[in-house]
Structure formats: structure tokens, C-alpha cells
Amino acid sequence: MTDNFEDDPVSETALLPPIEGREPILSYKKNGIWKPSLGHEKLTVIELMQESLSKFGLLKNEAKVYLYLARFGGQKAQRVSEALSLHRTETYKILKKLEKMGLIYRVLDKPAKFVALPIDQALSNLIEIKRQRLMLLEKAKEEIVKLWLSLPRPSESSEVEKESFQVLKGMLRINAKASEIIRNAKKEVFIVATDDKLFQMFHSGVLDDLRRSSRRVNVKLLTNYSLKSHFIVKKIRLNKGEFSYTDLNIPSFILVDEEELLFFLEDHIDNKKEFRAMWTNQKEIIKALRILRFFSAEDEKVTKGLKMRLNL
């Protein structure tokens, strides 16, 4: 028994679409982007499909079984087990799970045959499963919050809130923290960001929270001028007094109510970009970065000069 798809003659010769010389046509980049093969980390089309299905929550062997049935039509469990070199017990468990997920269905026969749904319908079913889980989590969140709020409050303490630091790793976690502090802002959100960092925040949805917050709190955005930053500022519809440009070499951070700071850091390890950020409520650090507010006043001469210099 083997889990290696490429070692199975049935899988490689029959499952793969006809490709001249059976050469892989794509390579996998770990940032999630599929690009033309450059001769390393090559994947075949079927392996690409397996990787894609894993993003929808299927395990490796589950994806293999579904793709086999989708390509060859109705098959008996024994045939699936033999073709993919899977143990019969594991095959039955996988078929049962795929049936429960709505990706395959059973045709009554002796023994029963299993048929895969068309790929578009199967993906729609997987998306619906995720959507229903999110709805359940939303309901669970409401119940948990109610339970938490029902707890008696501890006696008031005169103890001053402690200053602390928190290091965040990974784009998703950083974006979640950025959205959280922007949504919880009471008076002001001050963002200083390079055009590249602004572009990342725009595509992650963080700036959607900024646009909504601008209706109830003061918003200030300071960035360097480029086509990219100009496009984003127009897209999020900030008023003229809410943004300005600078030609300084600026760091990237979000300052909320002059009480919370999210400072963006970027490291390059083994030629790969690693996203990190530091959150803090440390007053001295916040005070030091507040000086950049003096550069956030709208200055038409600076903006025009930048445009001329960049030929924009």
C-alpha cells in the first residue's frame, strides 16, 4: 500500500489529462499562487487539483478518491481501493465521509457503486458546508458573549492597566488585530503606511473597517504618493482632510485613540517574506510615534511636488 499518487500506474496513466511527455505544467509557490513551471517543485494537473481541494477541507486521500470517481464515473468500493492502493477499511470510511459531505452518492447495486457529483456542484456543496459552519459559529459567539456578560463583575480595582507587548505572526492574525482595534476606536484612528502596506491592508479588508469607522471617529492617513496609494485613497472614499502624502521614508503602523499601537514589521528569511507585527499600549513608544502627526496636515505644495517628481 502506498500514499504516493505518482507511484500508482493506474493513477498516473489514467487519471492525468493527456499532457505531451506527461510533463508537469505548473509549479506550486508557497504564497498560494500558481505560476508557469520554472523547473522546481513541479506539480501535475491532478496534484494541482488535490492541492486545490485541500483548501476546501479535503484530506489528501479524500481528494484522491473524489477525483478518481469524478474522472471514471461510478465505481465499487473495492475497485477504488485497488486503483488508489488504499486499504479497504480506509476506502469505506472515505466514501462514507464524501457521501455525508454531498460530494458523491450511492447507486443501489450488489455491491453498491459510488458516483461523484460534477466538480462545480461538489465545490458549491463544500462552500455551503463552510457557510453553515460559520453561521453556527456566529450563533455560538452570541451565546458565549451572553454567558460571559451574565457573570457578576468583580469588585472595582484601582489598579492601573498594565502596559504590555504582543508579537503577532502571519498575515491573517495581523489583519484580524488591525480590524479589531479600528472597529473599537472611540475617538481617532491614525494610520501611517507605505503604499505597499496600504495595498495589503486594502486587499485584506482592513480598510473597509477604516471607511466605516470614519463616520463616527476622526481618521487620519499618511502615506507616500504613488499611483497605488492614490488609487486606494479614492477607493476608500476618504475626505480631503483625512489623508495626506509625504516623501519621507516612513514606517507602517496604526495608532488608535493614542492608546493602542500596531507596528508592522517585515523580515526576509530564506528569501521568503515573513509578516510580523507588534501590538502595544506602552505610552512612551506611542508618544514617540505621535510626532508623525505633524506631517499629516494636508499640504498641497508637497502633494503637487510629489506628483511632478513621479510624473503623475
CATH class of the domain comprising 165-309? alpha beta
Residues 6+ apart with CB under 8 A from 264: 174, 193, 197, 251, 252, 253, 275, 276, 277
Taking the C-alpha atoms of residue 129 and residue 30, their distance in angstroms, rounded to an integer, is 26
- Predicted pLDDT at 117: 92
Across residues 167-184, what is the average pLDDT?
Answer: 90
Q: Does residue 39 surpass a pLDDT of 60?
A: no
Which amino acid belongs to residue 290? Answer: R
What's the DSSP call for residue 87?
-
- Dihedral of alpha carbons 58, 61, 67, 73, sign: negative
- Predicted pLDDT at 229: 86
In this prediction, residue 44 has a pLDDT band, given cuts at 50, 70 and 90, of confident
Hey, what's the cell of 57? 477541507
- Predicted pLDDT at 149: 87
The chain-wide mean pLDDT, for the chain, equals: 77
Q: Does residue 13 surpass a pLDDT of 50?
A: no
Distances (CA, A) of 199 to 77, 239, 242, 282, 303: 49, 19, 18, 27, 19
115-129, 158-172, 238-252: which is most confident? 115-129
- Predicted pLDDT at 312: 44
Residue whose entry in the numeric block shows the C-alpha cell 522546481: 40
Residue whose entry in the numeric block shows the C-alpha cell 480631503: 240
- Predicted pLDDT at 294: 58
- Predicted pLDDT at 307: 46
- Predicted pLDDT at 268: 60
- Predicted pLDDT at 277: 92
Q: Is the peptide bond before 111 cis (omega within 30 degrees of 0)?
A: yes
Across residues 122-138, what is the average pLDDT?
Answer: 89
Taking the C-alpha atoms of residue 190 and residue 221, their distance in angstroms, rounded to an integer, is 6
Taking the C-alpha atoms of residue 212 and residue 57, their distance in angstroms, rounded to an integer, is 32
- Predicted pLDDT at 63: 92
Taking the C-alpha atoms of residue 278 and residue 290, their distance in angstroms, rounded to an integer, is 16
Please write the tens of the pLDDT for every residue from 223-253: 888 888 888 888 888 877 788 888 878 889 9
Residues 6+ apart with CB under 8 A from 29: 35, 41
Across residues 135-163, what is the average pLDDT?
Answer: 80
Q: Does residue 99 surpass a pLDDT of 50?
A: yes
For residue 114, the cross-strand partners are: 75, 106
Taking the C-alpha atoms of residue 124 and residue 26, their distance in angstroms, rounded to an integer, is 25
The CATH architecture to which 5-120 belongs is: Orthogonal Bundle (1.10)
Of the chain, the percentage scoring pLDDT greater than 90 comes to: 21
Taking the C-alpha atoms of residue 40 and residue 118, their distance in angstroms, rounded to an integer, is 32
Give residue limits of the domains in the chain: 5-120, 165-309
Across residues 174-182, what is the average pLDDT?
Answer: 91
- Predicted pLDDT at 68: 92
pTM value is 0.53
Beta strands in the chain (DSSP E): 26-28, 34-36, 42-43, 75-76, 104-107, 113-116, 165-169, 188-193, 218-224, 243-246, 253-256, 260-269, 272-280
Distances (CA, A) of 114 to 48, 91, 109: 23, 11, 10
Taking the C-alpha atoms of residue 37 and residue 39, their distance in angstroms, rounded to an integer, is 6
Taking the C-alpha atoms of residue 166 and residue 260, their distance in angstroms, rounded to an integer, is 11
Q: Which long-range contacts (CB under 8 A, 24 or more apart) does 11-16 make?
A: 11/46, 11/64, 11/68, 11/83, 11/84, 12/44, 14/71, 14/72, 15/46, 15/67, 15/68, 15/71, 16/44, 16/45, 16/46
